[in-house]
Amino acid sequence: MAKKSFVGNLKAFFEKDLVQYIVKRVLMFIPTLLLISILVFFVIQLPPGDYVSAHIAALATEGELVDADYAASMREDYGLDLPVWQQYIKWVKDIIWTPSDTPYYRLYHSHHNWKYSFAYGRDVWSVVNDRLGLTIGVTFIIMLFQYLVSIPIAVYASTHQYSVGDYISAIIGFLGTAIPNFILAIVLMYLSYRWTGNANVGLFTQEMLKNGVHLYNFGDFMKRMIIPIVVIGTSGTCGIIRSVRAQMLDEVARQYTLTARAKGVPEGKIIMKYCFRAAINPTVSGLGGVLSSLFSGSTVTAMVLNMQIQGPVLYKALQSQDMYLAGAIVMIQAVLVVIGVLLSDIALAFLDPRIRYSGGNR
């Protein structure tokens, strides 16, 4: 039998249902981001005035007057003299690619112009980039904590319904949901100070900020992450426990589990291979929202704990009407949500064989 050509093999590969499903979801990524960018730009335009007006007002408070010609020149440089739809196109084009002959590139040596932040006196991307890596790292650690803690507890509670462990997990879940995060943060800081003499506020000490965070070792980082993990992770953990437990109880009582037991299938296999795979679907589908909420870092809690992540930066940007900075952070959050939804859709495709990838009859 002759071997298939490369084109034939490629066509056969993309005819597979799962691959077609993933490709469709990836292609939906682009128009979704386009719509999100339109909404973000609309939000940027909501406050009265514009970028140049705010800059002139800031200079006026320092006693520096700006003439009309200079203001008009600035508006032309930033495209503020154009209609709104042309401003949007320019904003997107500048983010995607800014030519080397522009003032922005000569000043910041970057081909991606996110505009200027008045609150921090720097270009927007440098402000976001300062805390982006740390925010993603903190988000990943807290999300890992949530799933590693909540899923085993939920499975245990569902398979030992009305046991002491089930009641304890329910009590912890209700307390974690009911107690505001910032109250829990204050209590834990107080207990930490009483027990260790250090409230462990912030992800970096003043000495580390002064001498350079490169001296910061992983052990010190994880020590200071204990309180943020417990505070921010607890509320999400409680929600996952209740959701997975309810789904597991529903699946355990279904007819197919009774049939499997009657045929002698081991209980562990019934629980983990069949019930758990179906029960985890709602949790997996909520991955995008989890990424977004953790990325913002529960802003009030992050401010109480003095965490050097994006949440407080977004709050300051909104408070000072630094809308380009706020828009950049919201845009990054939206991208994370889209990525999270994409990953959750792909994960659901692997976890649940009942999903019809191609939409055709089986």
Q: What is the pLDDT of residues 316-331, one digit of tens each?
A: 887 777 778 888 888 8
84 and 170 assigned to the same domain: no
Contact 325, 127 (CB under 8 A): yes
Query: DSSP letter at 16?
Result: S
Q: Which of 50-59, 68-77, 98-107 has the lowest mean pLDDT?
A: 50-59
Measured CA to CA, the distance from residue 313 to residue 326 in angstroms comes to 8
Average pLDDT, the chain: 78
Domain assignment present for residue 167? The answer is yes
Domain of 68 in residue numbering reads as 48-96
CA-based radius of gyration for the chain: 26
Return the SS3 of 72: helix
Domain assignment present for residue 15? The answer is no
- Res 98: pLDDT: 85
- Res 360: pLDDT: 44
Confidence of residue 216 (pLDDT cuts 50, 70, 90): low
The structure tokens listed for 332 are: 């990054």
Contact 95, 332 (CB under 8 A): no
132 and 92 assigned to the same domain: no
* Average pLDDT of the residues in 212-220: 58
75 and 214 assigned to the same domain: no
Most confident of 249-258, 305-314, 335-344: 249-258
Domain assignment present for residue 115? The answer is no
Measured CA to CA, the distance from residue 332 to residue 129 in angstroms comes to 11
- Res 318: pLDDT: 77
pLDDT surpassing 60 at residue 181: yes
The candidate with the shortest Cα–Cα distance to 243, out of 350, 150, 341, is 150
Higher pLDDT, 227 or 211: 227
Each residue's pLDDT tens digit, 265-309: 888 888 888 888 888 887 887 776 677 666 665 677 777 777 878
* Average pLDDT of the residues in 11-35: 74
Supply the CATH number for residue 235's domain: 1.10.3720.10
Q: What is the pTM of this model?
A: 0.75
227 and 326 assigned to the same domain: yes
Per-residue burial over 95-133, b if 16 or more Cβ lie within 10 Å, else e, is beebeeeeebeeebeeeebbbbbbbbeebbbebbeebbe
pLDDT surpassing 70 at residue 230: yes
221 and 83 assigned to the same domain: no
Each residue's pLDDT tens digit, 117-139: 877 878 888 888 888 888 888 88
- Res 6: pLDDT: 58
Domain assignment present for residue 38? The answer is no
123: left (phi over 0), alpha (psi -120 to 50) or beta: beta
The candidate with the shortest Cα–Cα distance to 307, out of 251, 245, 224, 237, is 224
Other Cβ atoms within 10 Å of 18 Cβ, number? 13
Contact 50, 116 (CB under 8 A): no
Domain assignment present for residue 229? The answer is yes
In degrees and rounded to multiples of 5, residue 118 shows phi and psi of: -75, -35
* 250: Cβ contacts below 8 Å, ≥ 6 apart: 279
- Dihedral of alpha carbons 238, 239, 244, 249, sign: positive
256 and 138 assigned to the same domain: yes
- Res 209: pLDDT: 52
- Res 295: pLDDT: 64
Confidence of residue 361 (pLDDT cuts 50, 70, 90): very low
In degrees and rounded to multiples of 5, residue 117 shows phi and psi of: -100, 120
275 and 157 assigned to the same domain: yes
Quick one: 170 exposed, middle or buried, by C-beta within 10 A (0-12, 13-18, 19+)? middle
254 and 194 assigned to the same domain: yes
DSSP string, 228-287: HHHHHHHHHHHHHHHHHHHHHHHHHTSHHHHHHHHTT--HHHIIIIIIHHHHTHHHHHTH
How many domains would you assign to the chain? 2
Q: Which of 2-16, 35-49, 227-241, 321-335 has the lowest mean pLDDT?
A: 2-16
338 and 257 assigned to the same domain: yes
The type of residue at 92 is V
Measured CA to CA, the distance from residue 232 to residue 360 in angstroms comes to 42
- Res 9: pLDDT: 59
258 and 320 assigned to the same domain: yes
70 and 180 assigned to the same domain: no
In the chain, the largest separation of any two C-alpha atoms, in whole Å, equals 87
281 and 149 assigned to the same domain: yes
